[in-house]
Structure 1
């Protein structure tokens, strides 16, 4: 009998572990083999006396193309016709990053317009005062 704990690593509700090793261990989880979406990493450890410890770590896999949408937020209540802007782009791999299509065009937020109009009004006010003083 070993004096080290045995570690079993499961993904989601699988009954067969993806790894069974002695502790301590370094482990690389290849998420490319998992479908995009929510998953749970379950780690079960058994010490030499037979006692078990369990830890569950929820995580989300997004290996597929990223999808950006403008014009609707999650859980929104909507009606009528909605103008939507949708962009999807791949990330490439870990060695190279894809530039083409990776930037999502977005409309200018209302607060930027407010700043621009406020600055233009301020500049116009001081321009008018300057010319009224000079004459």
Structure 2
């Protein structure tokens, strides 16, 4: 009988573990082998007298290109034609930053335009009234 606790690590609903280790352990989880989306890490521990414990940790994988969209939010109620701006860009090899396409241009919010118009109108009014 071993005098140390053992942990068995599973990803999602896999029957075969990705690793079985004696504690304490440092473990590198390679998410590049997983598809983008929600996953969970299941860790089963077994102590020297045979008792078991379990811990499940949900996590989100985003290895693929990042996708942004302007003009449609989750659960929006929509009608007619929607002007959408969609951008997707990858992280490259993570040793070199890819500047090309890494920023999503966004339209200027209407409140900013209204604020600029109001400021310009006030400036014109102020200039006319202070001169006379």
- The alignment's TM-score, normalised by the length of structure 2, stands at 0.92
Secondary structure of 1:40's aligned partner: strand
Matches within 5 A, 1:1-135: 1-132=1-132
Q: In 1, distance between residues paired with 2:128 and 2:105? A: 37
Q: Per-residue deviation at 1:111?
A: 2.9
Secondary structure of 2:126's aligned partner: helix
Secondary structure of 1:54's aligned partner: strand
Render the CA deviation track for 1:45-71: whole Å, top value 9, x for unaligned. Answer: 111111111111111111111111111
Render the CA deviation track for 1:79-106: whole Å, top value 9, x for unaligned. Answer: 2111111111111122111110111111
Deviating beyond 6 angstroms after TM superposition, the runs of 4 or more aligned structure 1 residues are none
Q: In 1, distance between residues paired with 2:3 and 2:114? A: 67
Q: In 2, distance between residues paired with 1:38 and 1:115? A: 41
Q: In 1, distance between residues paired with 2:40 and 2:114? A: 45
Q: Per-residue deviation at 1:78?
A: 1.4
Segment of structure 1 superposing worse, 99-108 or 110-119: 110-119
Q: Per-residue deviation at 1:123?
A: 2.2
- The alignment's TM-score, normalised by the length of structure 1, stands at 0.90
Structure 2 unaligned regions, length at least 5: none
Q: CA RMSD in A?
A: 1.3
| Aligned length, in residue pairs | 132
